[in-house]
Structure 1
Amino acid sequence: MQLILFSKPDCHLCEGLQEKLEQIESVSLEIRDITQNEEWFQRYQYEVPVLFAVDASGGEHPIPRPSPRSNVAQLQQMLQKYESPSG
């Protein structure tokens, strides 16, 4: 499963989610630092971490933010709901 994580430096919620996602073998993770792109910053400055799934055609689909209290197994189970059939 390919995921995009919109994040920013010194965001503890972002760091925690990233660490958990990196422990899931089936996840390919792209980190996008919103401070490096004005459009991302304007859109997500008060929302990070923001998570998107990428489908087989390259489309990006938002995933609701998991609870910071979720463990890796709970996160993996939640992500299965958003995995595309092809992928």
Structure 2
Amino acid sequence: MSAGGSAAARAAAIRAEARKGLWRRIQAWLGIGTAVRRADAEVAKWEGGVEGEEATARLLAPLGGRGWYLRHDLAMSNSWANIGNCG
């Protein structure tokens, strides 16, 4: 997976869950409803993580030309956390 891929997927899942059903979609469209607002605030945090992971990947990219192998977004079992690996 690319840098930030799992965080982006989590943000999309939170956004989709918050808009399940007609009433929630209407609330989201109107900008009302506490559940949708809370979900959007959580999504903003996950999307900030995506930006940070992508920025880190850009900074590390030159190492690839020097023989380093970079892996991003490696899942850890039984956890939402993930790791990157250079070697």
**Structures share a fold, TM > 0.5?**
no
Greater helix fraction, Structure 1 or Structure 2: 2
- For normalisation by structure 2, the TM-score amounts to 0.30
Greater strand fraction, Structure 1 or Structure 2: 1
